[in-house]
Amino acid sequence: MIQEFKLQTGKEVETPARMFLQKDLDAMDIPFVEKNIFLNKISKEKSFPNISDDIKKNMAVLNYRDVSMVRFSMKALGGYVKEQLEAQDSDFIIIPYFKDETDYDVKTKIKIAGKLKSNSKIKKPVILEISHKCDISRKEFVRLHYNFDYLSIFYGVYYGHYPTLARIAERILSFKIDSGKKVFCMATPIKFAGDNVEDCRFMPCFSIICDFWGRNWKQGRGNNQIKVVDREDLKSKNYARWSETYDANHIIEPVGLTVSELFRPSNKTARAHN
């Protein structure tokens, strides 16, 4: 069930919902997705780009600097927090996930989050982000949840596996039940391994697990082979496997292209819409 709620900044958002990058909006050829979150993601060394007036007006903005390959330090965290406090266009403050965080690092982040949340001058909700591998116990997180407004779980893989997904889902749902708070899931995979390495399943399941999710932006390690998800069985297949089921001139809906046309390198945008 879709629900609406209002952020401290006054923006209204719907949940559960996917968060959208600029490249997602460009691929769909639309200026914004009303009452959703715009994930204004950049790498650690870049500056945040300007955001269109349409996005500012119709979407909540989450400025997200990807530091998942940066080691935790108070200096780095302080700089990223200061940057978010000064950003007028952003509707959140996120304490991001750093590479190979220890339990001590996470508890230090929780203390910083608590100081931000208790500051009456700060009107933005505070998100604490941790790795899906974080070892802090369920009981400990429940005890400390008053220090932040939302929890974010960083997944960070292109290709998922069911045991990891089950563990993440259990952690998210137990935290939601224990705390009553909403949960983000960041950098989630859409493709999951089936019975073997050739059996790839398309599984956009995060809307039933968490409140907000953002698709993984990192490219998978592969052989550059073009693959397209078959909506009939939700498997990601190359041209040879499509040819086992369909004739080359079979028209694929909703893109309106034949199988052979869909696999042409120039039809990358059409494959994204399939």
Exposure class string for 145-174: b at 16+ Cβ within 10 A, else e: bebbbbbbbbbbebbbeeeebeebbebbee
- For position 221, what pLDDT does the model report? 55
| 266-to-219, 220, 230, 261 alpha-carbon distances in Å | 19, 20, 19, 9
| Domain locations along the chain | 3-222, 223-274
Q: What is this structure's pTM?
A: 0.81
Over the chain (274 residues), the average pLDDT of each successive run of 10 is: 91 95 92 96 88 96 95 94 91 96 95 96 96 91 94 89 89 94 93 70 83 84 71 77 82 82 80 66
Show the tokens assigned to 98: 């750093």
* CATH class label, 3-222: alpha beta
Taking the mean position of all CA atoms in its chain, how far away is CA 4?
A: 19
- For position 224, what pLDDT does the model report? 65
- For position 220, what pLDDT does the model report? 56
Residues in Cβ contact with 246 at an 8 Å cutoff, skipping those fewer than 6 apart: 259
Distance CA 210, CA 195 (A): 26
Exposure class string for 183-202: b at 16+ Cβ within 10 A, else e: bbbbbbbbbbeeeeeeebbb
- For position 272, what pLDDT does the model report? 66
Residues in Cβ contact with 13 at an 8 Å cutoff, skipping those fewer than 6 apart: 4, 5, 6, 7, 35, 36, 37, 60
- For position 257, what pLDDT does the model report? 85
The answer to whether 117 and 151 have CB atoms below 8 angstroms apart is: no
Closest C-alpha to 148, from 52, 81, 194 = 81
Distance CA 249, CA 227 (A): 17
Angle between helices 103-117 and 74-86 (to 10 degrees): 30
- For position 250, what pLDDT does the model report? 85
- For position 273, what pLDDT does the model report? 63
